[in-house]
Structure 1
């Protein structure tokens, strides 16, 4: 049984699996008092320290709310990121999804630090993922709790749910919606309909990050991949994979609910 679970885990899309796992592990550790949240939050001064604590650009998206948030946040983060990673024509390559996370995450941080403050921004990222995953599904229906709604309305249903259950989450969620809108405008709408240039095209260094290294370390030796061999981010011996939940709030500004 445990073997089947692990096989399913490693078979899940890599980025969705990794994000969900990071949220679960970080949230349980922090809420159980095993580690301090001060290792994960983001503020500008953390980048000015020596050495710069650049990991906080990512870890501020790893802390969910307590209790049900530990289940819901990673679940929805996984579900929406999985759709982008496996079933979205806008993202043809793994590096395109990674660059999306980097740019949208950066926009969420900038918007919050400029206008709202706060130090943890997972709710904004989840709503951004929900918007991007559903924005082109005009004739598709999706489930939102006990209701069946047009898929494109899922992000707005989340905002309504937050209005009823946790209004403090809404400002942070809106920054995620704005970031996702801005990413779509700069990367698709402006180049296609405005005649402009895609200033958010995936840079080469991101492609390099997701490529399989030419030298592969094994338990029984070293294998040298031929120079001309094609490489891809999903050929690392372990498959890709997903798992887990979505949101509410116990810190910063915001939290949210929703699901498809």
Structure 2
């Protein structure tokens, strides 16, 4: 049991936390009946009640499909959010990933409620957004999709094809996830780098305060070092920390002199 818990806590924190929230919430709704779905779905009218039911902005992304969907949706959330959190070069810090989830989630709600005029639970759209973001920077690589090997960037469309065969009513929401992820990529990277425009989706400072990513983050493959400035997006990974490498006991010895010098 301790080995299982050690493996659990060794996983990336954002992917671990969100997957756990999806799994626990879905089991509580579909299997145990502890949480009524009516308390969790999104409806704008509930945000303007007193007190406002703000939690619906978050819980509407935590309820999976019933039965096998509980396992599959939780797996997809973990699989692709882990890739976004640990292997995507766009996101140098944890706060960048948190801000990505917040902005993409907002786009998904807007597209579904304002443009499409439907939607109460948005987890399928979020899964598709995570899949799109994780796979777009793997162009040219091969990836496994169930029993098949396909180009990595085609996995989102393979998922849509699977939905067409099994649950076609969910496809519009999945497409909204692709649109939301593409819009985030355009505003975060493409427009500033290739269009010369401002980075309108730069991670705000309040997210950095909430997440409080430490400057030195130990990893299994080295130490991720963040710059000392705020809102840094230029961290690098190295096998040793930068800056002073002397032990603390040496730092009290005063100014050093070269051998043979004055």
TM category (shorter chain) comes to 0.7 to 0.9
Partner of 1:48: 48
Distance of aligned partners of 1:212 and 1:187 in 2 relative to their CA distance in 1, 3 Å threshold: closer
TM-score normalised to the size of structure 2?
A: 0.79
Query: What is the CA RMSD across the aligned residues, in angstroms?
Result: 1.5
Structure 1 residue matching 2:90: 3-state secondary structure: coil
1-structure distance, mates of 2:166, 2:213: 45
2-structure distance, mates of 1:21, 1:128: 19
Partner of 2:21: 22
2-structure distance, mates of 1:36, 1:164: 30
1-structure distance, mates of 2:213, 2:192: 31
Distance of aligned partners of 1:196 and 1:212 in 2 relative to their CA distance in 1, 3 Å threshold: closer
2-structure distance, mates of 1:113, 1:50: 22
* Greater Rg over alpha carbons, structure: 2
Partner of 2:220: none
2-structure distance, mates of 1:75, 1:142: 16
Task: Name structure 1 gaps, 5 residues minimum.
Answer: 214-227, 231-260
Deviations 1:116-135 (A, max 9, x none): 41210000000000000010
Task: Name structure 2 gaps, 5 residues minimum.
Answer: 215-227, 231-262
8 Å Cα contact 2:141-2:151 kept in structure 1: yes
1-structure distance, mates of 2:124, 2:191: 27
Which structure has more RCO (C-alpha within 8 Å, separation ≥ 6)? 1
Partner of 1:247: none
2-structure distance, mates of 1:166, 1:7: 37
Structure 2 residue matching 1:117: 3-state secondary structure: coil
Partner of 1:194: 195
Structure 1 residue matching 2:160: 3-state secondary structure: helix
Structure 1 residue matching 2:53: 3-state secondary structure: coil
2-structure distance, mates of 1:7, 1:168: 40
Q: CA deviation at 1:39?
A: 1.5
Are 2:183 and 1:182 equivalent residues in the alignment? yes
Are 2:10 and 1:6 equivalent residues in the alignment? no
Are 2:92 and 1:106 equivalent residues in the alignment? no
Partner of 2:70: 70
1-structure distance, mates of 2:37, 2:68: 18
Q: Please list every run of at least 4 consecutive aligned residues from structure 1 whose deviation after the TM superposition is greater than 4 angstroms.
A: none
Partner of 2:244: none
2-structure distance, mates of 1:149, 1:101: 26
Q: CA deviation at 1:212?
A: 6.8
8 Å Cα contact 2:192-2:198 kept in structure 1: yes
Are 2:61 and 1:61 equivalent residues in the alignment? yes
Q: How many residues align?
A: 214
Distance of aligned partners of 1:109 and 1:77 in 2 relative to their CA distance in 1, 3 Å threshold: same
